[in-house]
Structures are given as structure tokens and as C-alpha cells.
Amino acid sequence: MTSVADAVQAMQAKFNPAAAAGLDLVFGFRIDESKHFSLVVKDSTCELKEGENPDAQVTLVMDGETLDGIVSGETDGMQAFMGGKLRAEGDMMLAMKLSELFPA
């Protein structure tokens, strides 16, 4: 496993099932343009999958350093977005939901 995979797993560990009640969402992650992951959030569950998921409603694009910072809490996701270190492809409003689903 890479440090990127470790960071995504750490994010999964912070999952708040109560915030995901009744949801059916797929979040994609493209890290360093070569590593793809998805988090499938469905009815209060969260499953981490490696690889690109064509069903992702939003894909977050960033480098591994930015991901590590966001997961550790050292980097604010919104600041990373405003600073150009994080890009969202797809439904931007779903990206905002990540902070509820994965609180720091």
C-alpha cells in the first residue's frame, strides 16, 4: 500500500455513518494523476475501492501531499481548493458534503 492509500484509509476511518443515512454517492479521487480511488457511500456505509469508478458523481483531483494534509487536518480542504491545490470534477455540492461525512 502506498502512503496515498494509507491517507484514503485514514479518511475512511473518520467516516460518520449518521451523516450518510439514506445516501447513495460515489466520490472519486485522482491523486498525482496516476492513483485512483473511490469511496462508495451508501445507506450509512462507506467502502473504499482502488481504481477509477465511472459512477463517481464528483472526482477530487490533488497531489498526495495535499491529500495527506487534508486527512491529517493540517490543510483545510476549502483553502486547498481556493489555492488551486484541489480540483473537483463533477458535482461541486457533493464535494462540500465530504466534511460532514468525514469530520476531522
Q: Which domains does the chain have, with CATH numbers?
A: 2-99 (3.30.1050.10)
Helix, strand or coil, per DSSP, at residue 6: helix
* Residue whose C-alpha cell reads 465530504 in the numeric block: 98
Run means of pLDDT, 10 residues per run, the chain, 104 residues: 74 90 95 92 93 96 93 90 96 90 83
Q: How many CA atoms lie within 13 A of 89 on its CB side?
A: 10
Q: Return the pLDDT at 4.
A: 79
Q: Return the pLDDT at 60.
A: 95
> Considering just the CA atoms, what is the radius of gyration of the chain in Å?
12
Beta strands in 1-104 (DSSP E): 24-31, 35-42, 45-50, 58-62, 86-90
Q: Return the pLDDT at 74.
A: 92
Q: Are 79 and 69 in contact (CB under 8 A)?
A: no
